[in-house]
A and B are shown apart, each in its own frame.
Chain A
Amino acid sequence: MKPGTKLKSAVCDTEVMVIRSGTGGIECGGAAMGEAKPDAIGTPDTAFAAGTLMGKRYIDAAGTFELLCVKPGKGSLSVDGVALSIKDAKPLPASD
């Protein structure tokens, strides 16, 4: 998946921007995300329904995938069925 690509959830309002990605399927609410919104919106799998937070960055354990939430929703993010976790906020600059 190209960096900078915007992906939409098939089961909630979540939208993410791909910061970086490797091999694997990016999912929200347990369903594959895509560049287009499907006509019929499903419901999040209960195992992936913790929700996404605006402006938070989500990463996998290896740091291969990083997604930025640009629109929050009820589903939570995963890659090939493995949940992503929130990355700490960027430290402030030492001066601007």
Chain B
Amino acid sequence: MPRALTLPLAGWAEGELRAMGMPPALTGTMLMGERAALNGFAVPGAVSAGGGCRLYAARDGHVALALARDDDRAMLPALFQDGGIDPGDDAQILAAFLARDSAALVTQGRMLGLAIARLGEVPVSPPCQVTAEGPVKARTEPLLVIDLSALWAGPLATHLIGLTGAQVVKVESRNRPDRMREGDPALFARINQDKDNVALDLREETDREALIALIRRADVVVEAARPRALRQLGIHADALVRAVPGLVWMTITGHGATGDAGNWIGFGDDASVAGGLSDAIIAASGRVGFGGDACADPLTGIYAARLALDRVRDGRGARMILSMSAIVAMALDSERRRDEKALMTDLQAWGAAQGEVFPVTDMRPAGRVAAMGQDNDVWLAQC
């Protein structure tokens, strides 16, 4: 009997969830496949399952570029260093990639703040880098988790920590809210269920002070801003970790903070390419395509929750900078060492299934979702 189609790296996710003691009903396949199931996505080829990222053939190999934000396309003339390119014309974009080398495109694109990666890339940062350690705190239950992140990885991490009994407060910026609330309400309602919600305008000093006061009460902070963005707001994560006993601060990045990488961005699909998953699929199947659905997002969310919970039990505070691309590379390497033949069989089947429906996953119901700012009174009054 042929093996059922397996979501790439779901086995690794499953192992992490079981090691964390998550409820058995919460499986790796569920967390990695629920967005695809909720939205009816197909197994991706050169266009990602969600459609926001695409693998383009460059002169010497493929480049993954996400054009998910409204004005990403306005950066394309600068990416190709050609003012004559029409950024809305996909045929011109395909031709421009074909005429250029992948490494130079990735260097230029990252400098421009685009989410871009290439085949054959090796992550420049480790999966987790500890940049500061803090004093010990005797924990009081329940833990207080402040979630400053948006989209998928960070909110999933705090959701999982919340399932252990922690109180999670999602903090949204009024002028830059988590657009998944409207963009994908079904997934939003799963990974943000049972969180309180505080809305702030971080352009205002009083709101920045309120946020810092809230952070000083927290056991865990999860955010996914580029390090310089928080510094420019006057929020110094390393200093807070050194000052606030037991504060565990998780920074989720595309590519870590080694050298220039702290200024690069990454989303789930381009980061999975940077982590080598598409290389492995090509090696196994000969097909060019993405693995899973933005799989760096759920893998990173799961790993971040595991590291944060380990640190909370340890009692000492820490600032940890996670790299989505390196986490994919680590999961891939782990699966390879566990059973390389099975991994290759799974990836070969994945590549051959392009265009077919996603592997079936068990679904879970959506939970209570807080409106933006509905709990401001509760969480800001006590500061």
Task: Please report A residues at the B interface, Cβ cutoff 8 Å.
Answer: 2-6, 17-20, 53-55, 68, 70, 88-96
CA separation between A18 and B83, bound complex, in Å? 11
The answer to whether B113 and A93 touch across the interface, beta carbons within 8 angstroms, is no
B141 at the interface (CB under 8 A from A): no
The answer to whether B82 and A2 touch across the interface, beta carbons within 8 angstroms, is yes
Also in contact, A91 and B70, with CB within 8 A (given A4-B77, A96-B152): yes
B259 at the interface (CB under 8 A from A): no
The answer to whether A93 and B52 touch across the interface, beta carbons within 8 angstroms, is yes
CA separation between A22 and B83, bound complex, in Å? 11
8 Å CB contact of A3 from B66, B68, B82, B111: B82
Q: Which residues of A sit under 8 angstroms from B72, Cβ to Cβ?
A: 90
Also in contact, A54 and B263, with CB within 8 A (given A4-B79, A95-B151, A96-B294): yes
Q: Could you tell me how many residues of chain B have their Cβ less than 8 Å away from some Cβ of chain A?
A: 46
Closest 10 CB pairs of A and B: A94-B183, A4-B81, A93-B68, A96-B267, A3-B77, A4-B78, A3-B78, A95-B183, A94-B179, A95-B184
B377 at the interface (CB under 8 A from A): no
Interface string of B195-217 (1 = CB under 8 A from A): 00000000000000000000000
The answer to whether B81 and A90 touch across the interface, beta carbons within 8 angstroms, is no
B208 to chain A, nearest CB (A): 15
B109 to chain A, nearest CB (A): 10
The answer to whether B50 and A96 touch across the interface, beta carbons within 8 angstroms, is yes
A–B pairs, 16, beta carbons within 8 Å: A3-B78, A4-B82, A5-B81, A19-B74, A20-B83, A55-B113, A68-B111, A68-B113, A88-B175, A92-B150, A92-B178, A93-B52, A94-B184, A95-B184, A96-B50, A96-B52
The answer to whether A70 and B111 touch across the interface, beta carbons within 8 angstroms, is yes
CA separation between A74 and B75, bound complex, in Å? 26
B147 at the interface (CB under 8 A from A): no
* Apart from A19-B78, A93-B69, A93-B183: 12 A-B pairs, beta carbons within 8 A: A3-B81, A3-B82, A4-B80, A4-B108, A17-B78, A53-B232, A55-B228, A68-B112, A92-B179, A93-B66, A95-B50, A96-B294
Closest to A66 in B: B74
B269 at the interface (CB under 8 A from A): yes
Q: Which residues of A sit under 8 angstroms from B179, Cβ to Cβ?
A: 91-95
CA separation between A63 and B255, bound complex, in Å? 31
B152 to chain A, nearest CB (A): 7
Q: Which residues of A sit under 8 angstroms from B268, Cβ to Cβ?
A: 96
